[in-house]
A and B are shown apart, each in its own frame.
Chain A
């Protein structure tokens, strides 16, 4: 039977490790909250895009033997920018034929977008298997991402918990990525257009804004964030393989629902919450499968009790005050 290791040490460790993990996985979900929550595209390709970026950056990192350019703290920036270009490709191949000329996203279009992105996702997944020099999984040096200005140990001890410095760095970068996304969505005119396009695309054209351009921008932003966060995910987990998508993708959906669709900060907090719950369960039971079962049970409960998202209020409060200024 399950044995609970209910000690203070386990709880401290669960919370600390959970916050670090949550910060990374929260940032991974942000691309999804933008494209699903704002543009109402149920993007089943999100996890595949994240993993694709992680695989790519691991491949480059290993091929170039850890050259500075390919370490996660640097790579996440330029792979994110590459993701912007990839977003254009994603939009025009997959989304445009389905939602390009749709004024208001109804359930029918949501479902079509779901199917189309599913197709794109498995195609992207398939690419891993046709690349030359294919390997089933990559494992990178655990100190990946910590090769900048690193000195001494690769880990620190905090409150009796041993923490890899690289994971801390990744969670900080995850937080920064979230802030950038928040700023873009709530403080720039681009973000405003993106929030408007899902509600009524035709009204945008009536005030002189090309709605298709805004839809492209949304896809670009979401894809860029997904690919950048994929690099952070690699830096955190240090190993990656195509099938990890089947864990990443559902977790992202859980987090977005917890955080409230379209709310960037809410999603990030949803990630933190989920990370802590996951690590606490893991520490208390020692069973990864139980920890994941708990994560998804949280989703079920949250969806039934608070379908608007548990953490969506955070952003509403913040952005309301911000807009006044």
Chain B
């Protein structure tokens, strides 16, 4: 048995983490490098949500449209902590230090932790209660039921923000905390480390093998003694917790908005997994990077045509590489096989 720390998946995750670490340290030099920092923040977000989805979709084989609900819950938690709780101390603190100041790291850490705890609590609650009912469904039915889950929560939250938000709308604008792009980068980085290693260790754990068994043949898995129902609920909840992290990260950066609940968030996560290849840990990472690069390069080159070209690309990928990039690489370069776990 190869030590966990020498397995390809672990090495690749560590390389990616180190890459973002270096990018973070080199980032704060000049305007151009700061642009890359902003790109790096986005990229971590895309990989993060891709891996969150991977636990339920790539590992367990359950297609969910509803993982955006957890992203939404994460971002709403942040909005709740920063705005709805009426933190007068943020405002008075900033008033004291005058313009150009920023809140202390301690306060930021407190708010960050509060958001995390709130998001985790709500996510686990929803995942277990709703999962208990809908995880009995399979295939497209499960997928559609998660649309229902997403929209129920979205419209309830919409009602809360509409009645309680000081802005009276669907958004909760963060108070100015004097934070820079670099702060957001490191907040993303913390969550990124958690997400990528959790996703990896789940994959190689007994739990991960149980999920793989469910993906390949759920009935057989059950006969072989895997408690499939419990495993699925765990996977659903864990996927939800990780997804909510990324809602938190983005809400600190860009404020809460109803957009985090929208179906297209789930679908981005889904596309990342499919493009990368279902069943693996590396697949969703590759898929996320490719998705991000495509979207980013289309936005900067073709502007308004982005959505049209992105859509066409998805159609082509599904038609010609149904096994995803990982499947393609495995077929073309059998030697790479052990690196694509």
Contact = CB atoms under 8 A, between A and B. Distances in A.
Interface of A: 36, 42, 44, 93-94, 97-98, 107, 110-112, 114-116, 118-127, 129-130, 246, 249-250, 253-254, 257, 287, 289-290, 292-293, 295-297, 299-300, 303-304, 307
Nearest to A256: B144
B8 interface: no
Interface string B147-186: 1111110111011001000000000000000000000000
Contacts of A121: 311
B307 A125 contact: yes
Contact of B145 (A93, A292, A304): A304
B13 to A, nearest CB: 26
A86 to B, nearest CB: 15
Given A97-B320, A303-B137, A246 B304 contact: no
Given A303-B141, A303-B145, A293 B134 contact: no
A88 to B, nearest CB: 16
A243 to B, nearest CB: 9
A114 B159 contact: no
Contact of A296 (B155, B270, B306): B155
B156 A119 contact: no
Given A97-B320, A250-B147, 17 more contacts: A44-B267, A111-B274, A116-B314, A118-B314, A119-B314, A126-B305, A126-B306, A130-B305, A289-B155, A293-B156, A296-B149, A296-B151, A297-B148, A299-B144, A299-B148, A303-B134, A304-B137
Contact of A123 (B134, B158, B264, B308): B308
B318 A122 contact: no
Nearest to B303: A130
A101 to B, nearest CB: 12
A37 to B, nearest CB: 10
Contacts of A107: 138-140
Nearest to A249: B263
B318 A112 contact: yes
A114 B140 contact: yes
Contacts of A130: 304-305, 308
A295 B149 CA distance: 11
Contacts of B63: 111, 114
Nearest to A42: B140
Contact of A300 (B134, B143, B305): B134
Contact of B311 (A112, A122, A292): A122
B310 interface: yes
A115 B263 contact: no
A289 B154 CA distance: 9
A115 B270 contact: yes
A289 B156 contact: yes
A96 to B, nearest CB: 9
A217 B162 CA distance: 46
A304 B135 CA distance: 9
B159 A287 contact: yes
B86 to A, nearest CB: 19
Contacts of B306: 126
Contacts of A297: 148, 152
Nearest to B274: A115
Contact of A307 (B141, B151, B319): B141
B220 interface: no
A180 B140 CA distance: 27
A119 B145 contact: no
B311 A123 contact: yes
A127 B155 contact: no
Given A97-B319, A292-B155, A299-B148, A119 B141 contact: no
B311 A126 contact: yes
Contacts of A124: 311
A126 B263 CA distance: 16
A123 B315 contact: yes
Given A290-B159, A297-B148, A304-B133, A120 B140 contact: no
A40 to B, nearest CB: 8
A63 to B, nearest CB: 21
A98 B155 contact: no
B187 interface: no
B159 A293 contact: yes
B315 A120 contact: yes
A250 B267 CA distance: 13
A112 B155 contact: no
A107 B57 CA distance: 13
B319 A120 contact: no
B155 A116 contact: no
Contacts of A303: 134, 137, 141, 144-145, 148
Nearest to B156: A293
B156 A93 contact: no
Contacts of B150: 296
